[in-house]
Amino acid sequence: MATILLENATLIDGTGADPKRGVSVLVEDGRIQSIFTDKSKRPKADKVIDLSGMTLMPGLTDAHVHLGALGVNSPRTQSPEDNLTSYVLDVVENIETALQEGFTTVRDAGGLDPAFAFAVESGHIKGPRILPSGSFISQTGGHADFRDRFDDRPPRVVPGILAGPVLCDGPDAVRAAAREQLRKGASQVKLMGSGGVVSPNDPLEGTQFTVDEMLAAVHEARAVGTYVMAHCHTSPAVNNALDAGIRSIEHGSILDEATAKRIVKEKAFMVPTIHIIEMLGANSTAHGLSHYSLHKLDKVRSQLPLSVALAAKTGVSLGSGSDFLGKKQSKRGLELVSKATVLGEMAAIVSATGTNAHLFNMEDRIGVVKEGRDADLIAVAGDPLSNIGVLVDAANVKLVVKSGTIVKNTL
Ligand SMILES: [Zn+2]
């Protein structure tokens, strides 16, 4: 592999440390070989890139993507009008856009067949490293049961292409569903633990799956060295998930203090998804939300920033997730902008780099710019600490290096 020397950058390293000016980074064999400011130590390299005026950062990560969930309501509803070839091309476009925007690792929170992650790994798709969950696992009538009341056909699944939801009830069925997703290549298992905004028939406050059902999935995930992530908007749902040993709490939108403390005690993570809620609120008609969904959205929208602030104050490890759905997913960095309005720019950046890396169990490889780590690096025009909005537009992300290979360079 060619060695790359990135010179004269301002470094934000993903740990929360103050930025450093005049930093150079040598990339060798896919890793960060050395980081230095002393020019007299300047090593030889095959390629030298001057990053004067640019900010060098770890590749961004997104812990809650739905690259394959193209309909707001369901991966199933897209099938009658849209053929599977178009579906695949739309998914590939979502994947490619994420990398162009500087995201080098993403965790899919359901709806993407792991085959797409394999296609990235093998070089067929130019995208971020994807940690897929495969299908959503939901109880009947739960958040991933998007059928209307008069439809009892099972959701559509096309192995290798379309990972529609799996609806199951009882610990053994949940166990089998978790095993099935892991067999198909899921990095972790995704469960629906509470009602949700866009689902047609479930109250937001409803808890979904019993602790025993979730425990079965947690057992299976742990048996192969991984974990479960659960969609939970409210405190009772979060507590059920924690009772079952679930490690990654998605949303946590309506959180009380005792529950926040418990997340810390159990060493779990929370991934609030702030921007999507604002966006759905601002464009509810465009997204075709029903009155019922709008009512649920209002509850989440009023509480979510308060819950994020409470979680941060309590010491909860907060990951960063966009929860973007649909076709033409772009401007993923908007989640960092929303997070920054609650917690500040640096906290938003750390959540989307260092903290997410811990959440993914990849802290030894990615998330911070440190000698020996994978060379996942981006260079951005401007200073995200004075204007975090620079991370929103792909045009500002001038350089993307993934595992030591330059995958974008518009310098
Ligand atoms: Zn989601």
Taking residues 145-163, what's their average pLDDT?
A: 90
Examine the pLDDT at 287 and tell me if it is beyond 90: no
Q: What is the pLDDT of residue 82?
A: 65
User: How far apart are alpha carbons 282 and 342 in whole angstroms?
Assistant: 18
Alpha helices in 32-124 (DSSP H): 78-81, 84-100, 114-121
Q: How confident is the model at residue 288 (pLDDT cuts 50, 70, 90)?
A: confident
- Dist. CA 41 → ligand 1 center (Å): 47
Taking residues 50-65, what's their average pLDDT?
A: 98
230-243 pLDDT, tens digit each: 999 999 999 999 99
Write the Ramachandran bin of 281: left for phi over 0, alpha for psi from -120 to 50, otherwise beta: alpha
User: How far apart are alpha carbons 86 and 14 in whole angstroms?
Assistant: 37
- Dist. CA 96 → ligand 1 center (Å): 20
- Dist. CA 71 → ligand 1 center (Å): 12
- Dist. CA 194 → ligand 1 center (Å): 12
**Percentage of the chain with pLDDT > 90?**
87
- Dist. CA 4 → ligand 1 center (Å): 37
Taking residues 348-364, what's their average pLDDT?
A: 98
The three-state secondary structure class of 159 is coil
Look up residue 353 and give its DSSP letter. Answer: I
| 6-15, 197-206, 308-317, 372-381, range with the lowest pLDDT | 197-206
- Dist. CA 66 → ligand 1 center (Å): 7
Write the Ramachandran bin of 87: left for phi over 0, alpha for psi from -120 to 50, otherwise beta: alpha
Query: ∠239-245-249 over CA atoms, to 5°?
Result: 60
Name which residue leads in pLDDT, 4 or 81: 4
215-262 pLDDT, tens digit each: 999 999 999 999 999 999 999 999 999 999 999 999 999 999 999 999
Q: Distances in Å between the alpha carbon of 344 and those of 35, 317, 336, 351?
A: 27, 15, 9, 11
- Dist. CA 322 → ligand 1 center (Å): 8
Q: What is the pLDDT of residue 74?
A: 46
Is residue 111 within 8 Å of 91, Cβ to Cβ? no
Mean of per-residue pLDDT scores for the chain: 95
Strand order in the sheet with 129-131: 60-65, 103-108, 129-131
- Dist. CA 273 → ligand 1 center (Å): 8
User: How far apart are alpha carbons 131 and 359 in whole angstroms?
Assistant: 12
- Dist. CA 159 → ligand 1 center (Å): 21
19-28 pLDDT, tens digit each: 999 999 999 9
Task: Kindly report the backbone phi and psi dihedral angles of residue 281, in degrees, each rounded to the nearest multiple of 5, phi listed first.
Answer: -65, -40
Is residue 4 within 8 Å of 409, Cβ to Cβ? no
Q: What is the pLDDT of residue 347?
A: 98
Q: What is the pLDDT of residue 75?
A: 44
Amino acid at 40: S
Residue 63 tokens read as 């812990």
- Dist. CA 63 → ligand 1 center (Å): 10
User: How far apart are alpha carbons 392 and 339 in whole angstroms?
Assistant: 13
Set out the domains of the chain in order of their start, with CATH numbers.
4-58+368-409 (2.30.40.10), 60-332 (3.20.20.140)
Examine the pLDDT at 89 and tell me if it is beyond 80: yes
- Please state the pTM of the whole predicted model: 0.96
Residues forming beta bridges with residue 23, ordered by sequence position: 9
- Dist. CA 231 → ligand 1 center (Å): 7
- Dist. CA 410 → ligand 1 center (Å): 32
72-84 pLDDT, tens digit each: 444 444 445 568 8
Query: ∠68-74-78 over CA atoms, to 5°?
Result: 75
